[in-house]
Amino acid sequence: MSIDHWMTFSTFAEQDYFAYPGMGTYNGVIINGNMASYAPAGLAAFLLEKISRETSYLIDPLTHAFQHDPGLIKGPNGRTKASIRSMAKAYGYPVSESVGSRPLQPENFDNDDDLSTFVTQCLKYQNCQLAEKMKESNAARYLSSESELLPYAVVAPYFYMTETTIDEWLQVNVRAARLTVNHTEKDQKCFAAIVVSQGVILDDALIEKISSEFSDIELDGFLLWVDNLDEQSAAGAELTGMLNLAKSLRKDRSREVINLHGGYFSILAAGVLGNGAMSGVAHGPEFGEYRSVVPVGGGIPIARYYVPKLHARVRYREAVSIFRQAEWLLSANAFHKKVCGCRECRSILNGDAGNFVKFGEGTPKQVRRRHGIVTIDFPTREAQERCLRHYLEVKHIEYKAALDAPREMLLTNLRTGESQFREFVGNSGVAHLKLWRKVFGDISKAE
Ligand SMILES: [Zn+2]
């Protein structure tokens, strides 16, 4: 058993974190197709120079972007974003014709030849878009073979499925996966992506349908993405549903299942508690442990500190209030013992618990809201970086523990988090920890 630690590339400002806490911390980097189209040279340099040779990459072809309301892929100027347009051009018909004007429909792929050409173009994009740029680079001279430049796997073009659209889209996804296998060299891995609404995972019959449709295709693995599934607020039924879907896709353990946006619950699912229900879990450098399929706006940045025992990000102010009440800020030692002893926290506190304020440093800015202008504290760049490094340190520990620690210890840790934090955050603040134990069978359903 292993738990592959993947991280999603977000912005170049965060590229150094792919070697943090250590070079080789991450098994792979997930790059969105539109990012690869927007900045191929920058990404090629990143892949060659900023990450370990052992860290793979994979391009998410992001084909689902073409099935939503075209307004969602338009920039502030009302035009379809250039990166999306050039991706559509590379994929060819039918997206090159529909992009920006109408959402793609399942019947656009009724013709086998059209789908086959689309699949071929989409695979070519994944294998060439960054590899060609890397080949042009001086740094590429040190590689032993050009195959080192290829992505970890090619991903079949895929479309988002909800309870009401699964009947039409599943068949397109399955045909695309078959064609992907046919069009790929034997020595390259082939993945399909299962991207579904929360309604789908609540329905056992649909889970069975998905896994049985893909079962006889010679795929090496799956990318899994459940729309907007926040593991901290999800109901037990949703978590169980996701677990069941992952397990059913992984019936054959030689197949990988990588959750594209997962938190500690998914990490536990991939480890001894979930008996390897997933093979890997990805998140972003700046959290990104859940994401909605239809893109939503960014919102105002707020400093958040990842509380290790809660396995949750908490607003800085709330974190301070909890730690004060609990008397964990009385000394640096108390803080490291009770809250976090990671490298970043030790270095920032530097022996003085008063330095915890450095995680929450902000500068006031005026922001226009619906009811007028308000002043909001924006975290400074330095404060964001501290929160981020601490988060990545803790994540690295979480992946290792979920794999190496005995089952009983992992459950005890969840129980300890629950009992230590309940008095400060209430039952609702620790409910996810209890629910996770329940899903992994530690508590009987009646409790
Ligand atoms: Zn820390």
Each residue of 349-397: pLDDT tens digit?
Answer: 999 999 999 999 999 888 887 778 888 888 999 999 999 999 999 999 9
Contact 201, 246 (CB under 8 A): no
In the predicted model, what is the mean pLDDT of the chain?
94
Tell me the average pLDDT across 166-191: 97
Instruction: With cut-offs at 50, 70 and 90, classify the pLDDT of residue 23.
Output: very high
Determine the pLDDT at residue 446: 44
CA of residue 42 to ligand 1 center, whole Å: 31
Q: Structure tokens of 256? A: 């990988």
Query: Which amino acid, residue 97?
Result: E
Place of tokens 């890397």: 134
CA of residue 440 to ligand 1 center, whole Å: 27
Q: Tell me which H or E stretch contains 85.
A: helix 82-91
* Residue 447: pLDDT over 60: no
* Residue 444: pLDDT over 90: no
Tell me the average pLDDT across 76-88: 90
CA of residue 325 to ligand 1 center, whole Å: 19
CA distance 30 to 239: 23
Nearest to 200 by CA among 258, 231, 241: 241
The CA dihedral of 207, 282, 84, 39, to the nearest 10 degrees, is -160
Determine the pLDDT at residue 375: 83
Crossing angle for the helix pair 204-215 and 166-182, to the nearest 10 degrees: 20
CA distance 206 to 203: 5
Per-residue pLDDT of 418-430, as tens digits, reads 999 999 999 999 9
Share of the chain above pLDDT 70, in %: 98
Tell me the average pLDDT across 337-342: 97
- Burial of 397: CB neighbours in 10 Å, binned 0-12, 13-18, 19+: middle
Tell me the average pLDDT across 12-16: 94
Instruction: State the pTM of this model.
Output: 0.95
* Residue 76: pLDDT over 90: no
HSE (side-chain half, CA atoms, 13 Å) at 178: 13
CA of residue 270 to ligand 1 center, whole Å: 23
Determine the pLDDT at residue 423: 96
Set out the domains of the chain in order of their start, with CATH numbers.
4-283 (3.20.20), 304-404 (no CATH)
HSE (side-chain half, CA atoms, 13 Å) at 18: 29
Q: Structure tokens of 383? A: 């404060």
Tell me the average pLDDT across 333-358: 98
Determine the pLDDT at residue 297: 66
CA of residue 305 to ligand 1 center, whole Å: 9
CA of residue 16 to ligand 1 center, whole Å: 18
Long-range contacts of 111-119 (CB under 8 A, 24+ apart): 112/175, 115/172, 115/175, 115/176, 115/179, 116/179, 116/183, 117/92, 117/93, 118/91, 118/92, 118/93, 118/94, 118/157, 118/176, 119/156, 119/157, 119/176, 119/179, 119/180, 119/183
Computed on alpha carbons and rounded to an integer, the radius of gyration of the chain in Å comes to 22
Task: Determine the Cα angle at 202 with ends 196 and 204, to 5°.
Answer: 100
Share of the chain above pLDDT 90, in %: 84
Per-residue pLDDT of 100-139, as tens digits, reads 899 999 999 999 999 999 999 999 999 999 999 999 887 7
